[in-house]
Structure 1
Amino acid sequence: MPSEIAPAGLRERKKEETRRRLLEGAARLFGQRGFEATTVADIAAYANVSVRTFFRYFESKEALLLPDGVEIFAYVENALARRPAHEEPLDAVCNALLEAAEPFAASTLTALSHPVQDIENVVTARLVQAFSDFEERLTVLVERRLPPDTPDADLTAAVIACAALSAVRAVLRTRRARRASGLTDTGPAPLPRAFGILRGIASHERP
């Protein structure tokens, strides 16, 4: 039995190492050459694998700019699970999204070391789509946090989840529009600011 387990474990370690080298190569090459000038073949060569092997791990070079949706969802789910049980659901969701956003923002810094608009557009589009796909799953998580006697608990959870994720999408789109216009963000960090606006609306519009 041990002899059967060991090869499987070794294969998994090799797969993870290949994935790591591909990500590392993409970050370095994007920074050196720019996103558009870097090809899949370049990234594969850096990782010492074939182009065919590259596509076993990633669907395109754009996919290297951010972790996949499953990983993003896992960060949000884990962050939400750590929030205090007594925390208001909207606050819990906003705080969890803030916590989860940090590692993904950091992961794009190398690729964005040269402010290439095409890269930022791709990153923004992928994040917007990822958070759109997460609405139903986040709704389920929020509903579990609601008191058992909450009226229209399913609707309440859906509104909270969708509102919080819409705030994230609003930040991404606004930042892209501002940068396209040559504007810079000089105020508070945009995502906490957006959640502050959302909480302010909620506090004045409670049914």
Structure 2
Amino acid sequence: MTQDPPDPEAEAESGLRERKKERTRTLLREGAAALFAEHGFAGTTVADIAACANVSERTFFRYFESKEALLLPDSIELFAYVEAELARRPPQEAPLDAVCNALISAVAPFAASSLTALTHSIEGAERAVAAQLVHIFTDFDDRLSLLVEARLPAGTPDADLRAAVISGAALSAVRAVLRTQRRRRANGTVTDSPPSHLLLEAFGMLKQIGSAPQ
């Protein structure tokens, strides 16, 4: 049975649809960031965000389940990026180093927009951000542990436990950075250091703790 050749016109149309979807998603995120900054989180409605992107509320909910989802990175998209970065790390690299480097690499693409609520104060959003973070980190930890376990040498004793500890330690350092940023922001002592610099510093501390003499 012969297979029909690809239809260039259909492929072009499919590509156009995907680009339009990505553009709409970007407009919704950018519009939400601007509205949150101007009116606060509580003062911004889904209708406001949809109107800013020139779409309907029904269209908004095709992309995001709630306005809270716009405060933080898309967990699926972020995890896919970390997974890809981890796969690029050299096989001989220590698992903790590989995870830390992959997480640092994942910050840059999201820092400009998706991480707005983590790097800038949004009135009325702290509680919503905290709740979203708990959900994201719980899911992320389980999935990252499996990736770390796959990198461990065959026959590693208690490989599942070791992977869980490595994953948990790295993500705990990320949480510590986020908490520190929020505390500094609240105290008026926040600096212009990008998130990647703070993560690098935190991971360095983590490795020093792990190598400290007993």
TM-score normalised by the chain length of structure 2? 0.79
Deviation at 1:113, TM superposition (A): 8.8
Report the secondary structure of 2:112's partner residue: helix
Contact 1:44 1:50 in 2 (8 A): yes
Deviation at 1:80, TM superposition (A): 0.9
**Structure 2 counterpart of 1:96, which letter?**
A
* Aligned: 1:27 with 2:57: no
Runs of 4+ in structure 1 off by over 4 angstroms are 3-11, 108-114, 185-188
Deviations, residues 105-137 of structure 1 (Å, cap 9, x unaligned): 222476689733534554454344312211121
Out of 21-30 and 113-122, give the one that drifted further: 113-122
* Aligned: 1:192 with 2:195: no
Contact 1:31 1:113 in 2 (8 A): no
Question: Where does structure 1 lack aligned partners over 5 or more consecutive residues?
Answer: none
Contact 1:143 1:154 in 2 (8 A): yes
Question: Where does structure 2 lack aligned partners over 5 or more consecutive residues?
Answer: none
Contact 1:31 1:110 in 2 (8 A): no
* Aligned: 1:156 with 2:198: no
Identical aligned residues as a percent: 64
**Structure 2 counterpart of 1:191, which letter?**
L
**1:49 aligns to what?**
55
Give the counterpart of 1:137 among 132, 143, 158.
143
1:113 and 1:132 map into 2 onto residues whose CA distance is 21
Q: 1:123 to 1:79 in 2, by over 3 A?
A: farther
TM-score normalised by the chain length of structure 1? 0.82
Deviation at 1:9, TM superposition (A): 5.0
**1:17 aligns to what?**
23
Give the counterpart of 2:80 among 43, 60, 74.
74
2:24 and 2:68 map into 1 onto residues whose CA distance is 18
**Structure 2 counterpart of 1:145, which letter?**
R
* Aligned: 1:63 with 2:69: yes
1:26 and 1:13 map into 2 onto residues whose CA distance is 20
2:120 and 2:95 map into 1 onto residues whose CA distance is 38
Out of 86-95 and 118-127, give the one that drifted further: 118-127
Give the counterpart of 1:101 among 107, 116, 128.
107
Q: 1:67 to 1:186 in 2, by over 3 A?
A: closer
Q: CA RMSD in A?
A: 3.0
Paired residue total: 206
